[in-house]
Structure 1
Amino acid sequence: MGLAIAQENNMGLMRRNCSMKRVFLILAGLLAIHIVVMTLFDIYRPPLTDFPDNEPGYGDCPACITRHPRKSNCKGCFPIAYPNILNNGKMCETGKSLDFMILIASEPEHVKHREAIRDSWVSKNAKYENVTFKYAFIMGLDHSNNTANANVLTEADTSNDIIQYNFVEHFRNDTIKGVLALNWAVQFCQNANILIKVDDDVFLNIPNLKDTLDKTPLDKTVAGHWLASRGPVRTEKSKAYVPYSYFPESSLPEYISSSMYLMTYETAVEVVKTVPDTPFFHLEGVYISFVIHKIGYGVKQLDGFNNFQVHPNPQYYCSCLTTSQELEPEDVTMIWDGMRLAGCTEQRVRCKTSYTPYIDVTWCRYWWWRHTIWLIAKWTFIITMCINIPLGGLLNYLGSRGVYLNALHKALYLGDTDGLVEHAKDGRSLRDIVSSNPPTLIKNV
């Protein structure tokens, strides 16, 4: 009796080991296939061409990408000369010095994004302590939705916070939008100390930003989420695609994420002066960094800046976070409501916890790592289930039809474990058993 129980336990352990090894081998095999396919794609793919001539937003230069390599210098090749549809040039005429002029890049169709921002972090009800700012939404024209373009004019009459230029909205024209925003602010917001460009899918924690800048002056830099020098993306389907024919160099300079960056007014003046003589580049963050490096200034990472979506925990947002991006309008509203309940919408709050008197940099890092580990665990579980469930179903289906991959599959499906136990008693490992039964389809007769 005891021997039978031991044999059964032995067999259960062998089955579990077999299942775990099978999952690992499948994952390793898929990874190997992916690496081989991508390597072959890079080696044997045809030469990359220019962006399609009929892409929206490329009807005229400088936004068009030619088939000639991008020059490092030029004279007057990128004029900032797009007609203004909505100006609101008197927005900054308050007679007071502004800490921030916030330039929010939007699109005509993003009505809900603008409403969520107006009701949250730029709301008139958000009474920030010791912070003065103005904001404006910057956008072009939708090339395929005249209704949305017309609705913008109506919205502007009500909100008085929209600046619109006559250029086509397209993600490859984001550089144009960013440059026009800085140019507008340099002309009309000379009383602003710092200019901030931010996308409309970003949540900006203004009290935390003010607290960070009080400790970390900008000086002659553009600051935000810093990205190290890296090679251009050569995958044609990517939004960050850079053709060889346009930029043949092997690496880009260190740059700032375009989702949000900021600079002093004085630095912005130098940027606007330098733009006309700096050849266009369709990735906004890279282009701004090209200009900054050309001036002789630098780029800087600021604490709390992220170029990804951060888990919306109110304590983390109150104490650690300055920006989070890729947010839907309802996410922005939810974050703001959570921060309001936590009492940190007016100033930075060091939330108390059960294990530390206040949330400091160490706690912020701990929370970040905890969230990262949670994401890894979540996606590992999802991927494992996506592989194991179909695989288990396939093996069961084959077994029900009397078809088996090998003798081990047949024995496990039929519950005929006597032979496997005998092999184990003889000192043979599970690997020996499997290797002696190669994966040949066996038809049960």
Structure 2
Amino acid sequence: MFVNFRRIRKCQLVQLMTTCLVLSVLMVCWEQLDANVFGHVKSYSYRYLVNRLDYINKSLTIPREQARSFSDFRYLLDHSGKCAGEDVLLLLFVKTSPENIDRRNAIRSTWGNETYIRSALGATVKVVFALGRPKEAEEEAGQPARGTGLVREDRLHGDLIQRDFLDSFHNLTLKLILQFHWMHTRCAHARFLMTADDDVFVHMPNLVGYLRGASRRGVTDLWVGRVHRGAPPIRSRDSKYYVPFEMYQWLSYPDYTAGAGYVVSRDVADKIYQATLTLNASLYIDDVFMGICANAVGVSPQEHVYFSGEGKAPYHTCIYDQMMTSHGHVEDIHDLWEAATNPQVKQKASGLMGRLYCTAVKMSLLCKPYNFNTYPCKAAFL
């Protein structure tokens, strides 16, 4: 039998070169692969196959006197009577920074306009903004100075809730605690609490309809949003979300909802408040801390496919029909509000042909392999 040794050597050379290329790519991308792929595999195994995370509660439990240091900040701006004497369907806290006045004004004139919500939707929704002390000191001796921008803004709108801690990324958990403590002492009768970023778009008509239905059914233990399950801590020092081992030593976080926007029922809000009185809040990733608090009191998050995560929802009438939240809106918020609340949205999506058309459209928009952090593919069929 004749054997072509030259061809064999050529094939071996190709195989060797291919192997070297693959190994080179793996070496270059190993750190990212380890963080994004293997880290999640380890975390999922740890979360679901090994532990139920009860030990995390014990490791983070501290004396009440120590826990009080995370909430014992005096109010610089406050409106204790904001909810008094009213049947409040929703208390909506917007997490904002002192310098983001344009974002706050955009929200006040669109989805967060209380007058519109009351007149057009017949619901009482209280929208307030949670913030800390400006990085560039605006105050003297801890008191807001007369005539400062925030004081003028608050006198005009009456919706800023500010506590005396530095407003920074690493104090987001303090801002989360502010919201649950303020509700507990000033608006405990509100049926639901929502927390949202100031670059989130909330489809208020859809949300009010959803919450009214939940309220009529007497829903309890409600914590709804975009759920992250079995997420591992990020150990890369280059990441904004880096968490050192000393701060959180476990391989997996408890389940939690994306901090861009989620809703809890009144009973859950009270349970979270109680949890903050005994847990170490030094972990500065606020949505993860929310998951830790919820896990401590036995509350699990529920997925709602039309709450976006960190992504922006596609612009389309068929999306607006069921949209709850979409993340990453600043300059376009007025245009989106006008388009999403147009009465023709419901008309185009109604009826058999409208539903079939919207299903096809949503499949093309959502069922893509690179579609991350917005609505999942299954949203197309609901």
- Please state which band the TM-score falls in when normalised by the shorter chain: 0.7 to 0.9
Q: Does 1:107 align with 2:122?
A: no
Aligned CA distance change for structure 1 residues 304 and 36 (closer, same or farther; 3 Å): same
> TM-score scaled by structure 1?
0.64
Q: CA deviation at 1:374?
A: 7.4
Q: CA deviation at 1:313?
A: 2.3
Partner residue, 1:343: 343
Q: CA deviation at 1:99?
A: 0.7
| 3-state DSSP of counterpart to 1:298 | coil
Taking the aligned partners of 1:103 and 1:355, their CA distance within structure 2 comes to: 36
Aligned CA distance change for structure 1 residues 38 and 245 (closer, same or farther; 3 Å): farther
Contact 1:212 / 1:302 at 8 angstroms: preserved in 2? Answer: no
| 3-state DSSP of counterpart to 2:242 | coil
Q: CA deviation at 1:213?
A: 3.4
Q: Does 1:300 align with 2:302?
A: yes
Q: CA deviation at 1:170?
A: 1.2
Q: Paired residue for 1:324, among 323, 326, 336? A: 326
Contact 1:226 / 1:299 at 8 angstroms: preserved in 2? Answer: yes
Contact 1:304 / 1:320 at 8 angstroms: preserved in 2? Answer: yes
Counterpart of 1:370, as a letter, is S
Taking the aligned partners of 1:354 and 1:275, their CA distance within structure 2 comes to: 45
Q: CA deviation at 1:372?
A: 4.3
**Residues 129-168 of structure 1 mapped to structure 2, 5 A cutoff:** 129-144=121-136, 146=138, 150-168=148-166
Partner residue, 1:370: 364
Contact 2:262 / 2:307 at 8 angstroms: preserved in 1? Answer: no
Counterpart of 1:89, as a letter, is S
Aligned CA distance change for structure 1 residues 354 and 302 (closer, same or farther; 3 Å): closer
Aligned CA distance change for structure 1 residues 119 and 354 (closer, same or farther; 3 Å): closer
Fraction of identical pairs, as percent: 20
Counterpart of 2:150, as a letter, is V
Cα RMSD over matched residues?
3.1
Post-superposition Cα deviations, 1:209-267, rounded to whole Å, max 9, x if no partner, equal 13333555652132211111121111212222111232221111111111112212222
Taking the aligned partners of 1:337 and 1:41, their CA distance within structure 2 comes to: 41
Counterpart of 1:352, as a letter, is K
Partner residue, 2:28: 37
Partner residue, 1:407: none
Contact 1:99 / 1:192 at 8 angstroms: preserved in 2? Answer: yes
Aligned CA distance change for structure 1 residues 84 and 33 (closer, same or farther; 3 Å): farther
Partner residue, 1:270: 271
Q: CA deviation at 1:110?
A: 0.4
Counterpart of 2:304, as a letter, is L
Taking the aligned partners of 2:193 and 2:255, their CA distance within structure 1 comes to: 21
Q: CA deviation at 1:89?
A: 0.9
**Residues 250-269 of structure 1 mapped to structure 2, 5 A cutoff:** 250-269=251-270
Counterpart of 2:280, as a letter, is P
Partner residue, 2:59: 71
Counterpart of 1:311, as a letter, is P
> TM-score scaled by structure 2?
0.74
Counterpart of 1:302, as a letter, is H
Aligned CA distance change for structure 1 residues 101 and 301 (closer, same or farther; 3 Å): same
**Residues 42-441 of structure 1 mapped to structure 2, 5 A cutoff:** 71-76=59-64, 77-79=66-68, 80-93=71-84, 95-123=85-113, 124-126=115-117, 127-144=119-136, 146=138, 150-215=148-213, 218-280=219-281, 281-307=283-309, 308-317=311-320, 319-328=321-330, 330-340=331-341, 342-343=342-343, 350-352=346-348, 356-359=352-355, 363=358, 366-372=360-366, 376=370
Taking the aligned partners of 1:172 and 1:151, their CA distance within structure 2 comes to: 24
Q: CA deviation at 1:376?
A: 4.9
Aligned CA distance change for structure 1 residues 370 and 40 (closer, same or farther; 3 Å): closer
Return 5+ residue gaps in structure 1 as ranges.
1-24, 44-69, 378-445
Number of aligned positions between the proteins: 315
Counterpart of 2:120, as a letter, is Y
Contact 1:221 / 1:292 at 8 angstroms: preserved in 2? Answer: no
Aligned CA distance change for structure 1 residues 34 and 261 (closer, same or farther; 3 Å): farther
Aligned CA distance change for structure 1 residues 162 and 175 (closer, same or farther; 3 Å): same
Aligned CA distance change for structure 1 residues 236 and 351 (closer, same or farther; 3 Å): farther
| 3-state DSSP of counterpart to 1:277 | coil
Mark the structure with the bigger radius of gyration. 1
Taking the aligned partners of 1:97 and 1:247, their CA distance within structure 2 comes to: 40
Return 5+ residue gaps in structure 2 as ranges.
1-16, 35-57, 372-382
Q: CA deviation at 1:177?
A: 0.3
Taking the aligned partners of 1:207 and 1:32, their CA distance within structure 2 comes to: 53
Counterpart of 2:176, as a letter, is G
Taking the aligned partners of 1:191 and 1:135, their CA distance within structure 2 comes to: 15
| 3-state DSSP of counterpart to 1:203 | strand
Taking the aligned partners of 1:303 and 1:252, their CA distance within structure 2 comes to: 21
| 3-state DSSP of counterpart to 2:237 | coil
Taking the aligned partners of 1:246 and 1:155, their CA distance within structure 2 comes to: 37
Contact 1:257 / 1:285 at 8 angstroms: preserved in 2? Answer: yes
Taking the aligned partners of 1:374 and 1:72, their CA distance within structure 2 comes to: 40
Aligned CA distance change for structure 1 residues 214 and 303 (closer, same or farther; 3 Å): farther
Aligned CA distance change for structure 1 residues 34 and 171 (closer, same or farther; 3 Å): farther
